[in-house]
Amino acid sequence: MASFGKPRVLGRIVLLLLIILALLVGGLVWFDYLGIIEVKRLLGPAYRAVGIPARAAAPVAATSPDLLEDERMGKRLEALQARADELDARDAELAKRDVEVGQKAQELEERGKSLDDKEKSFNDKVKQYENRKVNIDQNAQYLKGMPPEQAVEILKAMDDQTVIDILRSVEEQAKAAGEDSIVSYWLSKMPSERSAAIQRKMTIKPSGLD
């Protein structure tokens, strides 16, 4: 009797499984129809196999508040993005101008430094000129107070340019005092070649202080 009972039990189990499966599929179809769950894609092949069209998602009405809100939100996002792009462009332009201003400031600083260096060099030259002029005038004054032969010996030991500057200073001092210059007498006491060379250079370049 046990052998006859086993096929009945197995048949009942299979039947129960089929009923459960049918209930499960039916429930899914019903819930999908009510819109509680979305199983169109899952049950679509089964619908088409039995000739039942699958339920399509209901289109959103053009006057739906959600659609209008989404549209307003989209426009706001577009406006914000446009504003952000504009600000980015301004930032890039400001950064470019900052670089240009920095370069110009550096150029002005370098020019100012160059002008300072030139002014310092000019002042140094002026100071050197003034110092040399003072020394030349003093030496000319000393030599005028010496006997001519002694003065000529001192002049012979100097370079030609210094001799020329002293002779010019002596001439200027004599002219300012209304006296005769002793320069021609000094030159006559020098060796003829040296005297001729000094006079020639005086004609070409009167003073080394110019």
Higher pLDDT, 39 or 117: 117
Higher pLDDT, 169 or 61: 169
Total residues found in the chain within this entry: 210
Count of domains forming the chain: 2
* 85 domain residue, yes or no: no
pTM greater than the 0.75 cutoff: no
* pLDDT score, position 205: 65
Mean pLDDT computed over every residue of the chain? 80
**Structural domain that includes position 42:** 8-50
* 77 domain residue, yes or no: no
* 90 domain residue, yes or no: no
Distance CA(37)–CA(28), nearest Å, equals: 8
**By the 8 A CB rule, do 143 and 151 touch?**
yes
* 149 domain residue, yes or no: yes
* 104 domain residue, yes or no: no
CATH number, domain at 132? 1.25.60.10
* pLDDT score, position 60: 46
